[in-house]
C-alpha cells in the first residue's frame, strides 16, 4: 500500500511512518517542518525515516494550507490512502496565535479533503483531538456526546475539521475516519508537551509549572497504542452502507476516541518522572490556564467494538520508556 502521511516530521506522523515502513508499505511523508518546536528534532525524525525506508520513503516539503503549491508538490506521486496528521497543535499556543490554526487546521484540512476527493483515495484518516470535549462534565468522554462548546480555538478548529469531513463523506462519498487522540506521549515525543517540559525541568533542577494546583487528570496514551488505533482505522475504511457509524454519521465517516481509558492524576505522573530521573521535582503551583480542561478520560468502546482496539501500555510502563529514550536522545 502507498500511504500519504502529512505531518511526517511530527511526533505521531513520524511514529506512524515507522510502523508502515516496517510492515512493507510505501510512505510519502509531507511536512512544512515549521519551527513551532525544535526543528532539529523534526529533521532527526526525517533522517531516521530515510534510513528505515530507503526508496520506499519519499519526503515532500510543502505547506498543505496552500492549495496550488500542494497540488504541484504532489503531482506525479501515486498514493492509495491518506493519513492527515499535520496540524498546528497545542491548546495554549492557540490563545496567542489564532491565525496559525486558521491556516493549518482549517484551510489545510479542506485542502487535504480536496486532495483525497480528486485523487479518489480509498480511505482518509485524520487527526481530531480530545480537546473537542471542552469542559464536558460527563465522564468518560464518548463519541456520542455533544461537543458544541469548545474552550480553545484549537478545539474549535478540530471540531470544524470533523464537520468539513462529514460534508465530504456526504457529497463525494470519501471514506473518512476522524481520530480524537488523548494526550499522546512516548519516544520521539513533543517538546511543547507536559511530559517533556517536566522531564527537562526536573533534570535541570528547575521548577515545574503545575496548573490548577495539581488538580488535573489526563488520559495519557502511549504512542504505540495510538499507532495501533491509527493502523486499524487506515486498514478498515468506513463503509458506505447507510448504517449509523461511531460518532453518529450515516455517511462513510467514523469518529473514534483513541485513549488509554484511564484518567491519571497529574501528580502521579510527576512521581514516576521523579523516580525515573532520580531527582525530586520543585513544584510551582499555578492557577488553571485559559483554554485548558481539568480532566480528560476516553471512552474507547467504539474503536474497541469496530476494530478490537485495546491499549496495553500503562503510565508505569510508558513513562520509563519515554525517559529512557529522552536520555539516549540527549546523550545523558
Residue of 34, 167, 212, 236 that binds ligand NAD (CB under 6 A)? 34
Grouping H, G, I as helix, E, B as strand and the rest as coil, residue 328 is helix
Please tell me the distance from the alpha carbon of residue 156 to that of residue 147, in angstroms, as a whole number. Answer: 10
Between 34 and 236, CB nearer to ligand NAD: 34
**Which of 241, 224, 214, 243 is closest to 321 using CA atoms?**
224
Considering only residues 96 to 115 of the shown chain, the ones binding ligand NAD according to CB under 6 A are 104, 108
C-alpha cell at 163: 464537520
Residue of 58, 94, 123, 129 that binds ligand NAD (CB under 6 A)? 129
Please tell me the distance from the alpha carbon of residue 127 to that of residue 125, in angstroms, as a whole number. Answer: 7
The yes or no reply on residue 7 touching ligand NAD (CB under 6 A) is yes
DSSP 66-78: SHHHHHHHHTT--
Please tell me the distance from the alpha carbon of residue 279 to that of residue 68, in angstroms, as a whole number. Answer: 52
Site track 229-268 with ligand NAD (rule: CB under 6 A), x = hit? ----------------------------------------
Please tell me the distance from the alpha carbon of residue 16 to that of residue 30, in angstroms, as a whole number. Answer: 13
Between 64 and 256, CB nearer to ligand NAD: 64
Please tell me the distance from the alpha carbon of residue 242 to that of residue 238, in angstroms, as a whole number. Answer: 11
Between 87 and 110, CB nearer to ligand NAD: 87
Residue of 4, 18, 59, 64 that binds ligand NAD (CB under 6 A)? 64
Q: Are 106 and 140 in contact (CB under 8 A)?
A: no
Burial readout 109-129 (b: 16 or more C-beta within 10 A, e: otherwise): bbbbbbbbeebebebbbbbbb
Residue of 26, 58, 88, 257 that binds ligand NAD (CB under 6 A)? 88
- From the list 133, 154, 222, 256, the catalytic residue is 154
Residue of 3, 9, 277, 323 that binds ligand NAD (CB under 6 A)? 9
C-alpha cell at 230: 491509527
Tell me the site size for ligand NAD, rule CB under 6 A: 29
Between 190 and 253, CB nearer to ligand NAD: 190
Please tell me the distance from the alpha carbon of residue 75 to that of residue 79, in angstroms, as a whole number. Answer: 11
Compute the least distance from the CB of residue 40 to ligand NAD, in Å.
12
Q: Are 165 and 178 in contact (CB under 8 A)?
A: yes
Between 175 and 178, CB nearer to ligand NAD: 178
Torsion of CA 165, 145, 234, 108, to 10 degrees: 30
Residue of 85, 194, 230, 234 that binds ligand NAD (CB under 6 A)? 85
Between 85 and 277, CB nearer to ligand NAD: 85
Between 168 and 222, CB nearer to ligand NAD: 222
Compute the least distance from the CB of residue 163 to ligand NAD, in Å.
16
Compute the least distance from the CB of residue 280 to ligand NAD, in Å.
26
Active site includes 67? no
Which of left, alpha, beta for 126 (phi over 0: left; psi -120 to 50: alpha)? beta
Considering only residues 171 to 230 of the shown chain, the ones binding ligand NAD according to CB under 6 A are 181, 183-184, 190
Compute the least distance from the CB of residue 241 to ligand NAD, in Å.
28
Compute the least distance from the CB of residue 87 to ligand NAD, in Å.
3
Find the radius of gyration of the CA atoms of the chain: 19
Taking the CB of residue 16, how many other CB atoms lie within 10 A of it?
26
The binding site for ligand NAD (CB under 6 A) comprises: 7, 9-13, 31-34, 36, 42, 63-65, 85-89, 104, 108, 127, 129-130, 181, 183-184, 190
Query: Would you please indicate which residues are annotated as catalytic (active-site) residues?
Result: 154
Amino acid at each position: 500500500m502507498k500511504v500519504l502521511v502529512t505531518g511526517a516530521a511530527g511526533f505521531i506522523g513520524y511514529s506512524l511512518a515507522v510502523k508502515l515502513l516496517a510492515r512493507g508499505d510505501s510512505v510519502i511523508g509531507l511536512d512544512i517542518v515549521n519551527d513551532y518546536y525544535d526543528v532539529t528534532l523534526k529533521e532527526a525524525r526525517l533522517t531516521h525515516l530515510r534510513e528505515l525506508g530507503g526508496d520506499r520513503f519519499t519526503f515532500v516539503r510543502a505547506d498543505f494550507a496552500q492549495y496550488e503549491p500542494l497540488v504541484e508538490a504532489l503531482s506525479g506521486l501515486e498514493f492509495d490512502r491518506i493519513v492527515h496528521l499535520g496540524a498546528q497543535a497545542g491548546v495554549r499556543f492557540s490563545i496567542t496565535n489564532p491565525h496559525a490554526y486558521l491556516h493549518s487546521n482549517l484551510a489545510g484540512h479542506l485542502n487535504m479533503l480536496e486532495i483525497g476527493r480528486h485523487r479518489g483515495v480509498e480511505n482518509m484518516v485524520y487527526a481530531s483531538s480530545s480537546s473537542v470535549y471542552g469542559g464536558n462534565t460527563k465522564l468518560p468522554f464518548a463519541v456520542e456526546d455533544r461537543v458544541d462548546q469548545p474552550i480553545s480555538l484549537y478545539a474549535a478548529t478540530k471540531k470544524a475539521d470533523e464537520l468539513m469531513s462529514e460534508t465530504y463523506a456526504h457529497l463525494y462519498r470519501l471514506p473518512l475516519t476522524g481520530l480524537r487522540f488523548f494526550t499522546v506521549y512516548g519516544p520521539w515525543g513533543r517538546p511543547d508537551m507536559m511530559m517533556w517540559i517536566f522531564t527537562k525541568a526536573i533534570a535541570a533542577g528547575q521548577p515545574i509549572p503545575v496548573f490548577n494546583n495539581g488538580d488535573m487528570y489526563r488520559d495519557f496514551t502511549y504512542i504505540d497504542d495510538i499507532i495501533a488505533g491509527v493502523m486499524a482505522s487506515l486498514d478498515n475504511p468506513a463503509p458506505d452502507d447507510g448504517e449509523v457509524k461511531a460518532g453518529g454519521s450515516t455517511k462513510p465517516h467514523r469518529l473514534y476516541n483513541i485513549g488509554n481509558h484511564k484518567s491519571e492524576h497529574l501528580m502521579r505522573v510527576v512521581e514516576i518522572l521523579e523516580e525515573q530521573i532520580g531527582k525530586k521535582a520543585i513544584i510551582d503551583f499555578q492557577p488553571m490556564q485559559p483554554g485548558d480542561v481539568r480532566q480528560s478520560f476516553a471512552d474507547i468502546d467504539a474503536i474497541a467494538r469496530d476494530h478490537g482496539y485495546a491499549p496495553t501500555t500503562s503510565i508505569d510502563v510508558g513513562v520509563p520508556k519515554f525517559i529512557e529514550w529522552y536520555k539516549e536522545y540527549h546523550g545523558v
